[in-house]
Amino acid sequence: MITTKSKVRKAGYWMASLTLAAAASLAHAEDKKPVVIGWVNWADAEITTKLATLALQDQIQQPVKLVMADIGIQFQALSIGKVDMIPMAWLTYSHKPFWDKYKDNLEDLGVLYEGRLGLAVPASIPESEVSSIEDLNKPEVKAKLGGKILTSEAGNGQYKTAIRAIADYKLDGYKLVASSETGMLNEFDRNIKRGQWALLNAWSPHWMFSTWSLRYLADPKEVYGKAEQIHAVGRKGFSQDFPQVAYFFGHFTIPVKDLENMMKAARTSSADQVVAEYYSAHKDTFTAMFQGAPSVAAQTP
């Protein structure tokens, strides 16, 4: 975990050097039109977005403007050109409805990493009592869980999937308790500390899996699907307007374990610091992601 004083100083030096490098190339960067990147306030999305931003600024002096909003708003903004791209679209299942709705005005830039969605419980709950979503219908299980499914952001893709799970598995008496990601996990933590059972509408990669010992419940009806692919998605015409940026996102990948470690480390420092440290340690890897990118003439803002 990245918490030592020496690493903190190293991150500070690295961030300072990036600032100097950015200043040295300011004249060149001012000739480029900023790329507007949308992101959602999720732990993995923050790390991914800020890591990509740092790479773009350092490698090709590309100005970046970040815009945060809910995922549905991001897709809508993409479709009308208010945002240039987003790097956290779960296209396999969760965000597929958004893709299907707006795909005529979008570009799929490539897969960044893989993830998973599902209902999860603390590993301390015996599998003999709860191993599958179907087991949630047991009266004693429902009672211990209080009929609650802790979830984030009412109305997002995963929330809607949970609604389907309640219907398909006939989980009568269960209700979704929606909150922010932080609120959801704080409530889960309180339950754990009280020795109470708890049920999460979970996803990975996420630091929750490196903080608590959790397991996904089997999903025989595959309501949540199988593995998810997280894509970078651009507005229509993005690759033509930003060929170097599009090339980078077509080659940008993050090992899931590295991503989860950064997410956990950011809780005790900051995402900016963790991203700076990771980029410094893996700069050659990021440089390779730009090799072969098309050269472009200076753009006019």
Q: Is the pLDDT of residue 25 over 90?
A: no
pLDDT at position 181 is 85
Q: Is the pLDDT of residue 240 over 50?
A: yes
* Whether 276 contacts 135, CB under 8 Å: no
Q: Which tokens go with 216?
A: 């996904």
CA separation for the pair 51, 125 (Å, rounded):
37
Q: Which tokens go with 146?
A: 């209080």
Mean pLDDT over 205-224 rounds to 93
pLDDT at position 8 is 41
Beta bridge partners of 66: 37
Q: What angle, 0 to 180 degrees and rounded to 10, lies between the N-to-C axes of helices 43-60 and 271-281?
A: 50
Beta bridge partners of 36: 65
CA separation for the pair 14, 134 (Å, rounded):
51
CA separation for the pair 279, 282 (Å, rounded):
5
pLDDT at position 297 is 53
Q: Which of the two residues, 126 and 23, has the higher pLDDT score? A: 126
C-alpha R_g of the chain: 21
Mean pLDDT over 8-23 rounds to 46
Q: Which of the two residues, 261 and 17, has the higher pLDDT score? A: 261
Q: Which tokens go with 96?
A: 């597929």
Mean pLDDT over 122-141 rounds to 97
pLDDT at position 30 is 56
pLDDT at position 222 is 94
- Does the pTM surpass 0.85? The reply is no
Task: Give the domains, in start order, of the chain with CATH numbers.
Answer: 33-115+228-290 (3.40.190.10), 116-216 (3.40.190.100)
Q: Which tokens go with 265?
A: 């480390």
pLDDT at position 104 is 97
pLDDT at position 296 is 67
Of 33-37, 123-127, 224-228, where does mean pLDDT reach its minimum? 224-228
CA separation for the pair 219, 134 (Å, rounded):
8
Q: 8 CB contacts (<8 Å, ≥6 apart)?
A: 269, 273
Report the SS3 class of residue 91. coil
Give pLDDT tens digits for 268-296: 999 999 999 999 999 999 999 999 989 86
